[in-house]
């Protein structure tokens, strides 16, 4: 079985970090986002197809040297094709039922259960759905006995069909991808799914967590959520929820809560909380909170709510 991961975005909301690192290669608890997604796939998915535009050379280089336990096919987009166009671009590598993911989504969806549900309904397509308190900023679905009968984009308050939104994970039959026009910029969500409502399109709500890790705030949130899960699974009594790479060193500092420190980092006489520090950074005498630092940054002043990257800084 194949999976398509849509990793063609520019990552503009995470600039300047993504000017030098493609968003799929940004670490989540010290493992690149896309690699973590691949490693968490069910065993039945043996081939992963990456739809790549921005950062193509870095992605090719990374997967050339990294064994993720599955066959990885990288399909370049010469220009952005949208979610539907990117899927169409991968069509020739698909042999049957296919899982599709937005590449910056971190969720607790049980994919094995989702695939079984899809098959039990003899569905053409199945969408993971997430319940939100305020659906007015999103597109919502009308779900009746598991079948999606209508999409509603950013409904006015009080007129919502539901509070269930598309969570960026799909199980699709080849016939869905076959109806996508070739060589066009197509949104699967706006241009294709509405055409097949009531005709084999199903939804599966899930609980747990759903994070679109595409903004500074949500990138930090995704790291901290995975930090929680790692600590629970390892039965580790790290009270401050801290993950420090084995090649890094911390001297005379207070670290935590919610801190992830990447490889080859040196920190001295600093107080750091709610922060991700990327590789090869040097920090001295700093108080840092709610920030993303690195890679290759030398820092000796206080920082809050800021991305500091080689290509510049941004307060968020």
Domain assignment present for 119: yes
Are both 182 and 120 inside the same structural domain?
A: yes
Are both 183 and 268 inside the same structural domain?
A: no
Query: Average pLDDT for residues 132-148, to the nearest whole number?
Result: 89
Strand partners, 168: none
Of these residues, 44, 119, 154, 195, which one is catalytic? 154
**Domain boundaries, position 83:** 2-212
Are both 244 and 204 inside the same structural domain?
A: no
Domain assignment present for 231: no
- For position 273, what pLDDT does the model report? 96
- Let me know the angle formed at the C-alpha of 17 by 11 and 20, rounded to the nearest 5 degrees: 90
- For position 76, what pLDDT does the model report? 93
Give the CATH number of the domain where residue 286 resides.
2.160.10.10
CA separation for the pair 309, 298 (Å, rounded): 10
- Strand 147-153 versus strand 312-315 pairing type: unpaired
What are the pLDDT digits (tens) for 41-99?
999 999 999 999 888 999 999 999 999 999 999 999 888 889 999 999 999 999 999 99
- Let me know the angle formed at the C-alpha of 49 by 44 and 50, rounded to the nearest 5 degrees: 135
Domain assignment present for 33: yes
Q: Kindly report which listed range (59-68, 148-157, 194-203) carries the lowest average pLDDT score.
A: 148-157
**Tokens 């801290």 belong to residue:** 242
Are both 40 and 166 inside the same structural domain?
A: yes
Query: Average pLDDT for residues 136-143, to the nearest whole number?
Result: 87
Q: How many domains does the chain have?
A: 2
- For position 181, what pLDDT does the model report? 94
Query: Average pLDDT for residues 121-138, to the nearest whole number?
Result: 92
CA 269 to the chain's CA centroid = 34
Contacting residues for 60 by C-beta, under 8 A, at least 6 apart = 74
Are both 168 and 270 inside the same structural domain?
A: no
- Among candidate residues 212, 246, 272, the one where a domain is terminated: 212
Report the sign of the C-alpha dihedral through residues 50, 28, 264, 296, in that order: positive
Domain assignment present for 145: yes
What are the pLDDT digits (tens) for 284-307?
999 999 999 989 999 999 999 999
Domain assignment present for 98: yes
Query: Average pLDDT for residues 87-112, to the nearest whole number?
Result: 95
Domain assignment present for 228: no
Are both 96 and 199 inside the same structural domain?
A: yes
- Among candidate residues 178, 195, 212, the one where a domain is terminated: 212
Are both 181 and 296 inside the same structural domain?
A: no
Are both 39 and 164 inside the same structural domain?
A: yes
Give the CATH number of the domain where residue 125 resides.
3.90.550.10
Are both 186 and 81 inside the same structural domain?
A: yes
Can 154 be counted among the known catalytic residues? yes
Are both 24 and 88 inside the same structural domain?
A: yes
Closest CA to 277 of 246, 243, 254, 253: 243
- For position 158, what pLDDT does the model report? 84
Are both 261 and 187 inside the same structural domain?
A: no
Q: DSSP for 200-230?
A: SEEEEE--S-EEETTSHHHHHHHHHHHHHHH
- For position 231, what pLDDT does the model report? 53
What are the pLDDT digits (tens) for 225-266?
998 776 544 444 445 689 999 999 999 999 999 999 999 999
Continuous H helices in the chain: 33-39, 56-65, 82-89, 111-120, 174-178, 216-233
Are both 132 and 191 inside the same structural domain?
A: yes
pTM of the predicted model, to two decimals? Answer: 0.91
pLDDT band for position 137 (cuts 50, 70, 90): confident
């Amino acid at each position: 079985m194949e999976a398509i991961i849509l990793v063609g975005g520019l990552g503009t909301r995470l600039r300047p970090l993504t000017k030098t690192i493609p968003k799929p290669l940004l670490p989540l608890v010290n493992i690149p986002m896309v690699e973590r997604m691949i490693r968490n796939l069910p065993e039945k998915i043996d081939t992963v197809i990456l739809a790549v535009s921005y950062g193509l050379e870095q992605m090719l280089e990374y997967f050339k040297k990294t064994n993720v336990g599955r066959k990885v096919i990288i399909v370049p987009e010469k220009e952005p094709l949208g979610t539907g166009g990117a899927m169409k671009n991968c069509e020739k590598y698909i042999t049957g039922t296919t899982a599709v993911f937005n590449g910056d989504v971190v969720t607790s969806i049980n994919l094995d259960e989702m695939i079984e549900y899809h098959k039990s309904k003899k569905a053409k397509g199945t969408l993971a759905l997430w319940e939100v308190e305020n659906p007015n900023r999103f597109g919502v679905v009308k779900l009746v006995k598991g079948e999606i009968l209508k999409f509603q984009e950013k409904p006015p308050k009080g007129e919502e069909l539901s509070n269930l939104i598309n969570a960026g994970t799909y199980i699709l039959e080849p016939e869905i991808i076959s109806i996508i026009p070739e060589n066009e910029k197509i949104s699967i969500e706006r241009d294709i799914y509405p055409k097949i409502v009531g005709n084999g399109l199903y939804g599966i709500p899930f609980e747990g967590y759903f994070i679109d890790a595409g903004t500074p705030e949500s990138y930090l949130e995704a790291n901290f959520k995975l930090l929680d899960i790692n600590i629970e699974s390892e039965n580790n009594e790290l009270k401050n929820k801290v993950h420090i790479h084995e090649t890094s060193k911390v001297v005379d500092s207070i670290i935590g809560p919610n801190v992830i420190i990447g490889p080859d980092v040196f920190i001295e006489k600093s107080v750091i909380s709610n922060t991700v520090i990327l590789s090869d950074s040097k920090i001295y005498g700093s108080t840092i909170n709610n920030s993303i630092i690195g890679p290759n940054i030398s820092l000796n002043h206080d920082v809050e709510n800021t991305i500091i990257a080689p290509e510049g800084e941004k307060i968020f």
